[in-house]
Every structure is written in structure tokens, then in C-alpha cells.
């Protein structure tokens, strides 16, 4: 199908969302819960979740054409099999026939959706943390699944010097965004964090080189946070980044540091540490604490940027204090981690 299709033009995103928000649009469905994210609309039915990608473009992705959305729907289903098993059911076509929208069947395809089995919300890690219902044996099982995934992954070949340069560029990019005048953040703290991280990459260049040469750079998950981990009835890890493979390639220690950071932000530091300990035990990779502090600070800086970037969209301005508070929390976390780095 061409992006210039008359039907594609006529049926706007709003019309698609309206149709997909109705229980009658799905077989055997009595209720639909609608969740909007930066890049998607998610429709939660009684048993399944359907994800419609928004026609958006950012520096790191382009979903503006039907062809690109189709491509990345297929990619999302494919790459998530490794950690999510049969949770991803496949790609569903949004069709139109005789002026009426429906899923699959006859007619012209006007968009695509990813179909997933709906996971039990009470067993998602972030919910279990919030409700105080986390069971240590389930955390251990999920940690083992993740560790086995890393151990079965082929190391990604990188030039050590280029890897260090890429780290510096990432830090610089995130810092520059946080220092934008319209965000009105405390520049001195951000500059101090950036300086500490730059200094660490220079002073401990050999440490990063050892990570590359030791095969610790792999194609991982890309966005490993508690809300993407389901503990029961069996461990399932969803939402692996599909739209940019470069975002999945990183040091295993960095990915686990992100998860540990997010657990700490939920006042559950011990859970994040359990994932790190399991990986260390199974792999024999004795990651230095200083490197974990560095990666946590680096990732906290990124999370701060992503939080404050919500204010660039009008619909989030009504919750400005929420996003400013979240950004500041990550900046404070990054600052605290940097205080632990050797000077």
C-alpha cells in the first residue's frame, strides 16, 4: 500500500483511535482501556493488548509512513521472542471495507497493530514494588532468565576507542538538552555531573577497553525498566526496543545499571541489586562498583532529559510540576552517583 492512499489520508489517527477504543471492534471483548505513550496508542482488551504506532518522527525513529509502521510492527514481534516467548501474538491489520473499519479480513489495509497477550498488571515488577507484593523467588527467576539471555548473546564487535567516544557523545548530548534555557534547570549541578562523567571516561579508559575486549558489549533489551518485567506466572520481559538497533547495543553492566537505577527510584534498591548479583554469579563478570555508579549516573542523566522533554509537548504542560519533579529526581540521583566516583 502506498503512503498516498486516499483511504490512508481520509482515516486520521483520531478516527483510528476512536474505532480501536470501542469494545465492539474486538471479538469477545467487553471493555477497552486506552493508554497513550509518546510513540503509540495501546488498547487493552479483556485478554489482549493492541499497539498502534503513532505517525511520529524523532531523531532516533521514523514512523511517519504506513510502510515504516508495518516494518517496525513486524520487527517488534520478532525481536521480543527471545525474552517474551509467545506473549507477542503477531501483527494485525487495520482494514477498511465499504467505509467501515475492522481488524483483519477483507478490504484495504490502512495500518497495522502489534497484538500481545495481556499480562497480569499485579505481577508487573513496578506494580509489585508499589504494592509491596514482590516475592524474592520470582525476582530470582526473572533475573536468571535475563542473565541467561545475556550469556547466550553474541558479543558485538566494537572499536574500544570508538566505544568510549560514543559514551562521551551520549553524555554531551543529554547534558546539552538539560542545559536548554527554556527548561530553567540548575545548570551548575548538571555541569558538575557532566564534568565528573567526562573525567571518569578519560581516567578509566582502560576499564572501558576491557569491557569491549572482554565481550561484554551485546545486543540487549534497550529499555530495561521494572514496567517491562512480568514476574508471574512465568518471567516475561517485554518492550525490547525495535525501532533502532543501536539503542540495544551496550555493555551488559550498563543495561543492568539502568534497571537498578529505576528500582532505586521506586525505593527498591535491593531488587535491582538482585538482578546484578545474579548476572555476576552466572557470568563470572565481576563488574566494579565504580563502573556501576558511572553507568547509573549516565542513565540518570538520560532519564532526566526524557522527563523534561515532556514539556516540549503541549498536552503535558498541565502536569509540568510532575515532569519537572521527575527530572530533578534523576538529576539528584546522577549527582549522588557521581559523588561515589573516584576523583
Q: What is the pLDDT of residue 244?
A: 92
Decide which of 3.30.300, 3.30.200, 1.10.3230, 1.10.357 is the CATH code for 6-118: 3.30.200
**What whole-number distance in Å separates Cα of residue 215 and Cα of residue 227?**
28
Contacting residues for 177 by C-beta, under 8 A, at least 6 apart: 305, 308, 309
Q: What is the pLDDT of residue 58?
A: 86
Q: Which long-range contacts (CB under 8 A, 24 or more apart) does 183-191 make?
A: 183/308, 183/311, 183/327, 185/308, 185/327, 185/328, 185/331, 186/331, 189/331, 189/335, 190/301, 190/331
pLDDT in tens, 279-328: 999 999 999 999 999 999 999 999 999 999 999 988 888 899 999 999 99
Residue range 23-50: mean pLDDT, rounded: 94
Domain boundaries, the chain: 6-118, 125-339
pLDDT in tens, 38-80: 899 999 999 999 999 999 998 888 999 999 999 999 999 999 9
Share of the chain above pLDDT 70, in %: 97
DSSP bridge pairs for 94: 103, 111
| Residue 190 predicted with pLDDT over 50 | yes
Q: What one-character DSSP code corresponds to residue 315?
A: G
**What whole-number distance in Å separates Cα of residue 39 and Cα of residue 76?**
13
Q: What one-character DSSP code corresponds to residue 124?
A: B
Read off the pLDDT band of 10 (50, 70, 90): low
DSSP bridge pairs for 221: none
Q: What one-character DSSP code corresponds to residue 27?
A: T
Q: What is the pLDDT of residue 7?
A: 47
DSSP bridge pairs for 219: 249
**What whole-number distance in Å separates Cα of residue 141 and Cα of residue 96?**
44
Residue range 169-197: mean pLDDT, rounded: 97
**What whole-number distance in Å separates Cα of residue 36 and Cα of residue 95?**
22
Between residues 10 and 192, the one the model is more confident about: 192
| Residue 333 predicted with pLDDT over 80 | yes
Q: What is the pLDDT of residue 2?
A: 40
Q: What is the pTM of this model?
A: 0.93
Residue range 238-259: mean pLDDT, rounded: 97
pLDDT in tens, 249-258: 999 999 999 9
Q: What is the pLDDT of residue 4?
A: 39
| Residue 3 predicted with pLDDT over 60 | no
Q: What is the pLDDT of residue 59?
A: 83
Residue range 226-238: mean pLDDT, rounded: 98
**What whole-number distance in Å separates Cα of residue 211 and Cα of residue 286?**
11
Share of the chain above pLDDT 90, in %: 90
In the CATH hierarchy, which top-level class contains the domain 125-339? alpha beta
Instruction: Check the CA dihedral 135-137-142-146 and report its sign.
Output: positive
Q: What is the pLDDT of residue 305?
A: 97
Q: What is the pLDDT of residue 5?
A: 46
Average pLDDT, the chain: 95
**What whole-number distance in Å separates Cα of residue 156 and Cα of residue 245?**
12
| Residue 9 predicted with pLDDT over 80 | no
Amino acid at each position: 500500500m502506498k503512503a498516498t492512499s486516499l483511504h490512508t489520508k481520509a482515516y486520521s489517527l483520531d478516527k483510528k483511535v476512536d474505532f480501536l477504543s470501542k469494545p465492539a471492534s474486538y471479538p469477545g471483548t467487553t471493555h477497552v482501556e486506552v493508554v497513550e505513550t509518546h510513540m503509540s496508542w495501546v488498547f487493552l482488551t479483556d485478554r489482549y493488548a493492541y499497539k498502534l504506532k503513532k505517525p511520529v518522527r524523532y531523531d532516533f525513529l521514523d514512523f511517519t509512513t504506513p510502510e515504516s509502521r508495518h516494518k517496525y510492527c513486524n520487527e517488534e514481534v520478532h525481536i521480543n521472542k527471545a525474552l517474551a516467548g509467545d506473549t507477542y501474538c503477531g501483527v494485525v491489520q487495520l482494514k477498511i471495507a465499504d467505509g467501515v473499519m475492522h481488524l483483519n479480513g477483507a478490504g484495504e489495509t490502512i495500518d497495522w497493530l502489534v497484538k500481545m497477550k495481556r499480562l497480569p498488571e499485579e505481577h508487573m515488577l513496578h506494580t509489585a514494588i508499589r504494592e509491596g507484593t514482590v516475592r524474592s523467588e520470582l525476582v530470582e527467576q526473572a533475573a536468571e532468565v535475563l542473565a541467561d539471555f545475556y550469556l547466550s548473546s553474541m558479543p558485538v564487535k566494537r572499536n574500544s576507542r570508538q566505544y568510549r567516544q560514543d559514551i562521551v557523545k551520549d553524555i554531551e548530548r543529554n547534558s546539552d538538552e538539560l542545559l536548554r534555557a527554556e527548561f530553567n534547570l540548575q545548570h551548575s549541578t548538571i555541569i558538575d555531573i557532566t564534568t565528573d562523567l567526562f573525567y571518569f571516561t578519560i581516567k578509566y579508559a582502560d576499564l572501558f577497553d576491557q569491557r569491549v575486549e572482554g565481550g561484554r558489549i551485546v545486543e540487549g533489551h534497550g529499555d530495561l525498566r521494572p514496567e517491562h518485567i512480568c514476574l508471574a506466572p512465568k518471567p516475561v520481559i517485554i518492550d525490547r526496543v525495535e525501532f533502532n538497533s543501536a539503542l540495544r547495543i551496550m555493555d551488559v553492566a550498563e543495561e543492568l545499571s539502568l534497571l537498578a537505577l529505576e528500582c532505586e527510584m521506586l525505593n527498591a534498591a535491593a531488587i535491582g541489586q538482585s538482578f546484578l548479583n545474579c548476572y555476576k554469579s552466572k557470568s563470572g563478570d565481576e563488574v566494579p562498583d565504580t563502573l556501576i555508579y558511572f553507568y547509573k549516573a549516565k542513565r540518570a542523566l538520560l532519564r532526566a532529559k526524557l522527563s523534561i522533554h515532556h514539556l516540549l509537548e503541549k498536552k503535558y504542560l498541565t502536569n509540568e510540576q510532575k515532569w519537572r519533579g521527575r527530572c530533578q529526581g534523576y538529576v539528584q540521583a546522577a549527582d549522588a552517583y557521581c559523588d561515589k566516583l573516584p576523583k
